[in-house]
Amino acid sequence: MTDWAIVVAVVAAYLVTNLIVGLMPGRRSTDTVAGYVAGDREFGTLVMYFVTGASVYSAFAFLGGPGWAFSRGAAAFYILGYGVLGIAPYFVIGPWAARLGRRYGFVTQGAMLAHRFQSRWVAVAAGLVSVIAMLPYVALQMRGAGIVIEQVTDGHVPFALGAALAYGVVLIYVWHSGVMGVGWTNVFQGVFMIVIAWALGLYIPAKLYGGIGPMFEQIAALRPEMLTAPGLDSVGNRWTPGAYSSAIIVSSIGLMMWPHLFMKAFAAKDDATIRRTIVLFPTFQAFLLPLFLVGFAGVLYASAPANADAIMPHIMLTSGLPAVVVGLFCAGALAASMSTGDALVHGAASICVTDVYGGIRGDTLSQHDQRRLIRWFAIAVGVLGYAIAMPSGLSLVGMLLAAYGAVVQLAPPVYAAFLWRRATATGVVAGLLAGILITAAQIVADWRPYGLHEGVLGLTANIITLVVISLASDPPEASHVSEWIATSRQAD
């Protein structure tokens, strides 16, 4: 049996196992939207921990993280910074949202905001911004899956086919099991990718340099610029402090605004589960360290791939490792990709139906019809994400940074809902529109003054517009706002 065939066999075994894990919990939820989208609000600490951690650290971490360490050096450390900072506010906001979800039946951000601002158009606007942000994130996961399968099979399984096979499995268990399938596959995938990451992160520096310490000593002697923060930009020049800092700021503010993460508050069993998850989450950061080590191992490696994101599979294939080990690496990379991709596909489909479609219609479909539509929209999101993934020339981390410019625009309405009683629906919609248009214009024009992340100007415009328009429009109904906020603060 040839090496590439052994790799394919290992990957196939992983995909089949993942499919079984994803299908098994499908009959445990009720035939309702809350059952399909929020798991009947029964997620415990174990599932919440892994569904949060594995949903955050995906193909961008398993491939893009090493790619940035290899090509940009210390610039990759921004990922460590925003991971810890971004999760902290959810310790407070997560339980607030969960209490509202249990009281009013919310399963999405948009539904929560629409109720607070008493306007279905808030749900439509928030839903559209969410989907705009999530589609490139879905594409990122698919690109990661396609890159690694093509690399480790020496092109026998091409990029497009590899991505299609991996996400065919995802769509099957998302269709069948909804968030329960996402949750339990994330547990399996999270454990698997952590084990593989640490095994490779310790083994590769030892094999190539004699250990982690000797590796960094050689890099310090020959390529010291790779170890000096804030690292390098995409063309090898020093990354500006403004670019580095703004990437951390935007990513930190936007992290828990991702709908597929925020929505898990509505799935948690109780407030204590959310708080335990937030306290434990930084331990998931340890998953990134071995991946960075592999990327730094490539800095002085004898050869380099054409695409920096492929440095990890490149080292795996050219350093004489057994085919079974290469196959396990591939499965670990797929676990990272699929553990985020499934949550994104499921979350985007839920938002399309409950917030956008339902908001435009202005009425409510039956629970059964909504659940059926979400399943079909999951297929549509998968197909559209696949179409975006195929021609993209951006790096995986570059795609994620662009997506953060969109999702961070959800922060002003969420924080205003909880903290500013005078905020109005008109102000929220106008702010979202201003923020997303300015961010999109910067991305299209490739214009970043002083190197600042494009989300900074968009977020600034969003906040100013929200405040000005809210103050210029009629105030919201005081009794409704007071009851809504009081419900969010009322512990079980």
Please report which confidence band the pLDDT of residue 307 belongs to, taking 50, 70 and 90 as the band edges. Answer: confident
Quickly tell me which residue has 């991702």 as its tokens. 258
Q: How far apart are CA 232 and CA 75, in angstroms?
A: 6
- Report if residue 361 sits inside a domain: yes
- Report if residue 428 sits inside a domain: no
Per-residue pLDDT, averaged over 446-454, amounts to 84
Please report which confidence band the pLDDT of residue 39 belongs to, taking 50, 70 and 90 as the band edges. Answer: low
How many structural domains comprise the chain?
A: 1
Question: Could you tell me which of 112, 113, 89, 93 has the C-alpha nearest to residue 101?
Answer: 112
What are 331-343's pLDDT values in tens digits?
888 888 888 888 8
Please report which confidence band the pLDDT of residue 467 belongs to, taking 50, 70 and 90 as the band edges. Answer: very high
Does pLDDT of 233 surpass 90?
Answer: no
- Report if residue 492 sits inside a domain: no
Does pLDDT of 38 surpass 80?
Answer: no
Q: What pLDDT is attached to residue 395?
A: 61
- Report if residue 415 sits inside a domain: no
- Report if residue 191 sits inside a domain: yes
Q: What pLDDT is attached to residue 49?
A: 86
Does pLDDT of 270 surpass 70?
Answer: yes
What are 76-97's pLDDT values in tens digits?
998 888 888 899 999 999 999 9
Q: What pLDDT is attached to residue 326?
A: 86
Per-residue pLDDT, averaged over 61-73, amounts to 89
Model-level pTM?
Answer: 0.87
Q: Give the angle 320-323-326 at the CA atoms, nearest 5°.
A: 85
CA distances from 447 to 90, 393, 453 (A): 32, 18, 9
Does pLDDT of 59 surpass 80?
Answer: no
Task: Retrieve residue 345's tokens.
Answer: 């596909």
Any idea what the CATH number is for the domain that residue 156 is in?
1.20.1730.10
Q: How far apart are CA 238 and CA 222, in angstroms?
A: 17
Task: Retrieve residue 422's tokens.
Answer: 């005078």
Per-residue pLDDT, averaged over 286-300, amounts to 93
- Report if residue 455 sits inside a domain: no
% of the chain at pLDDT higher than 70: 96
Q: What pLDDT is attached to residue 184?
A: 82
Structural domain including 343 reads: 3-396
CA distances from 37 to 27, 261, 263, 309, 367 (A): 14, 12, 9, 33, 11
CA distances from 220 to 67, 201, 216, 290, 292 (A): 19, 19, 6, 19, 16
What are 363-420's pLDDT values in tens digits?
677 777 888 888 899 999 999 989 888 875 656 666 777 788 899 999 999 999 999 9
- Report if residue 248 sits inside a domain: yes
- Report if residue 437 sits inside a domain: no
Query: At 1, which amino acid appears?
Result: M
Does pLDDT of 14 surpass 80?
Answer: yes
What are 181-213's pLDDT values in tens digits?
888 888 888 888 888 889 999 999 999 999 999
Per-residue pLDDT, averaged over 29-51, amounts to 75
Give the chain's mean pLDDT. 88
